[in-house]
Structure 1
């Protein structure tokens, strides 16, 4: 299934050449593939993903500490959560074309797994973990910041990365002493391509915001965004 020319092509895209391509191979194996292929039954990228997640946290935290000296701990924590979020990591994987090289089950393949945010985000973390093991922290940092630095410096310009659910919750707790309640209004489409419409309430029976998305998490974010705009919540103060 793996051809050297494919891995070499990926390395060319990455701008990083592995001493051990075995690590690169492992970073590309989704758990679903092992469930269908006996030879890979106990092999997937989840351990590398765990390691990469920790490495990424340190890279971003160090960068923020050194470059955002006027920000306090809470502000740095919010920035970090936005930067290492699934949408950002998935966007980077799409930019690299990492999805083209993943090993997925037939089911994941048929349901759009190569473009699914969760899979792409996890794959980037696994890849970073593999680079760290293959070389050292500085090499992993150089690789990560090649894709992250511009995004970090312009993070507040990307409205899609703002955590409206947290902003709305903090506002609701401060002003109304309650937390928002999210309810599914309707589900649209077949099981393999379902989308959701979700509403959010604050101490009322009526929805103050409604959002749609390919999954509940996205729909809730859109609902919170619409609620914040309707209620006049100052987003800039929350960032």
Structure 2
């Protein structure tokens, strides 16, 4: 039935006013649109600030909302049927990889959707986000124009069979930042993100540059139109460098070893600033009354008594009778005793 519609629409194509747009959409969608206004609105960016006859904003945001919901349902249906027996977590993760904004942005660029977007030259939104939003809006337009089955055929035949390998996407690690965080925590390596610069491109869109720092060792830098995107790119390149450059891994773990060594060193006692000054001072011994025990009263009495006795003996040895004005003549016995004493002394 769809081929019959395409055949009729192809006959009508030379008589249509917007032949170029019809042809471009046919190459993207695989069929000719019926209601071209839906697709034109899907490619109309909000930066133009157009309004319809009722004064309401005329852009692709409402179709983007609808297409986002339809895309989740269609891709969820495809993933559920393709990976039979897989758990809910695996199916959810695979679907999120297929419908995430980065994937849709690459699809929009690959399929030529971004070239058809009508936008303001002063738009501050990066093309990858505009492309992803326009892709979702196109899905919303397909749903309103052709129905759910047309959306399913578009995703199966035009996307998954020709552009995206669903098996590779399912088993491919996309969250590089989460992967690097897991590796750093497992190996107890300090991980930091350093903002190198923030500039603007020719469309005044903000551009961020972040660099990965592992244990103080500089890793790779990544550029993106958001902090998340730039950090993801930096993590992706750093993971590849860790796998390909053993010297880089060695430098990271060498820095880690140095850090842990410093943290494990014991804390020494704080030195006394006056210790050196005291080394120059020679302390003199001080004598106090406590160094000499005081005699007891009984001992004092004994000392006094002994002193009196020695004094009495001294008085007995030294008699006044021995002192005479003229020397006394020695007896014969005293002379003999002195002579014997002198002889023995020699």
> Taking structure 2 as the reference length, what is the TM-score of the superposition?
0.55
Q: Which moved more, 1:115-124 or 1:210-219?
A: 210-219
- 1:24 aligns to 2:36 (yes or no): no
**RCO (CA 8 Å, sep 6+): is it higher in 1 or 2?**
1
Judged with a 3 Å threshold, the aligned counterparts in structure 2 of structure 1 residues 196 and 158 are, in CA distance, closer, same or farther, namely farther
Deviation of 1:102 (Å): 1.6
1:153 equivalent in structure 2: 166
Judged with a 3 Å threshold, the aligned counterparts in structure 2 of structure 1 residues 49 and 70 are, in CA distance, closer, same or farther, namely same
Question: Are the counterparts in 1 of residues 22 and 33 from structure 2 also a CA contact under 8 Å?
Answer: no
Give the RMSD, CA atoms, in angstroms: 3.3
| Offset from partner CA, 1:205-234 (integer Å, 9 cap, x none) | 444x322224233321122123434556xx
Deviation of 1:105 (Å): 1.0
Q: Pairwise mapping of residues 57-72 of structure 1 onto structure 2 (< 5 A)? A: 57-72=72-87
Task: Name the count of aligned residue pairs.
Answer: 221
Deviation of 1:172 (Å): 4.6
Judged with a 3 Å threshold, the aligned counterparts in structure 2 of structure 1 residues 141 and 170 are, in CA distance, closer, same or farther, namely farther
> Taking structure 1 as the reference length, what is the TM-score of the superposition?
0.76
Question: Are the counterparts in 2 of residues 82 and 163 from structure 1 also a CA contact under 8 Å?
Answer: no
Find the aligned partners of 2:74 and 2:160 in 1 and give their Cα distance.
Answer: 11
Judged with a 3 Å threshold, the aligned counterparts in structure 2 of structure 1 residues 67 and 5 are, in CA distance, closer, same or farther, namely same
Q: Pairwise mapping of residues 221-232 of structure 1 onto structure 2 (< 5 A)? A: 221-229=232-240
Find the aligned partners of 2:66 and 2:170 in 1 and give their Cα distance.
Answer: 29
Q: Pairwise mapping of residues 176-215 of structure 1 onto structure 2 (< 5 A)? A: 176=188, 181-187=192-198, 192=204, 195-201=207-213, 204-207=215-218, 209-215=219-225
Deviation of 1:157 (Å): 9.7
Q: Pairwise mapping of residues 1-239 of structure 1 onto structure 2 (< 5 A)? A: 4-13=18-27, 14-34=29-49, 37=50, 42-108=57-123, 116-150=127-161, 151-156=164-169, 162-172=174-184, 176=188, 181-187=192-198, 192=204, 195-201=207-213, 204-207=215-218, 209-215=219-225, 216-229=227-240
Find the aligned partners of 2:98 and 2:74 in 1 and give their Cα distance.
Answer: 11
Question: Are the counterparts in 2 of residues 31 and 46 from structure 1 also a CA contact under 8 Å?
Answer: yes
Find the aligned partners of 1:48 and 1:57 in 2 and give their Cα distance.
Answer: 14
Larger Rg: 2
Find the aligned partners of 1:103 and 1:41 in 2 and give their Cα distance.
Answer: 18
Judged with a 3 Å threshold, the aligned counterparts in structure 2 of structure 1 residues 81 and 169 are, in CA distance, closer, same or farther, namely farther
Judged with a 3 Å threshold, the aligned counterparts in structure 2 of structure 1 residues 75 and 123 are, in CA distance, closer, same or farther, namely same
Deviation of 1:64 (Å): 1.3
